[in-house]
Amino acid sequence: MKVHVHSLQEASAGRWRPDGSWDVGAVNAETVNDRVKLLVHRLIARHLKSNPDMIVQARGRLTLEGDDVPGYVGEWMSLLESHVDTVRRKITERSPDMNRLRLSSPLADVLALHDSDLRRRIYRKARIGLRSVNPT
């Protein structure tokens, strides 16, 4: 069955087979990891609604001291100084900047996903979500 790729995300979620058909079973690991981080940040956004103190904890995990402070630290500090609704919206935003920032999120450490079953379910959901390419 041939599938037309409609986006870059779909393109990274599979590969062309030698017969010219689209293999949605082959999912790029980096793309899956980006999606996992997005799903985790959606969980964080839900928790922030009832526990905005998580932002204070996340700010405490960032340090601005020294000469060798990575640029993302300032970006996170700026974001975490925003209203909680803005933080919730931004951390779940699909954009190259937020994909990059989620790689170094202080909020992920605050949520601390210790439940291995939950982590597996998140990973599985990320993979399945990327494999669901609509055939045309």
pLDDT tens digits for 65-111? 667 778 889 999 999 999 999 999 999 999 999 999 999 999 987 87
Per-residue model confidence (pLDDT) at position 70: 82
Distant-in-sequence, close-in-space partners of 26: CB < 8 Å, separation ≥ 6: 14, 15
Reply yes or no on whether the pLDDT at 130 is more than 90: no
For 99, half-sphere exposure in the C-beta direction (CA atoms, 13 angstrom radius) is 10
Residues 39-57 have a mean pLDDT of 93
pLDDT, mean of residues 4-27: 53
The contacts of residue 41 (CB under 8 Å, 6+ apart) are 91, 92, 102, 105, 107, 108
Spatial CB neighbours of 122, under 8 Å, sequence gap ≥ 6: 36, 39, 40, 43, 113
CA distance 103 to 37: 8
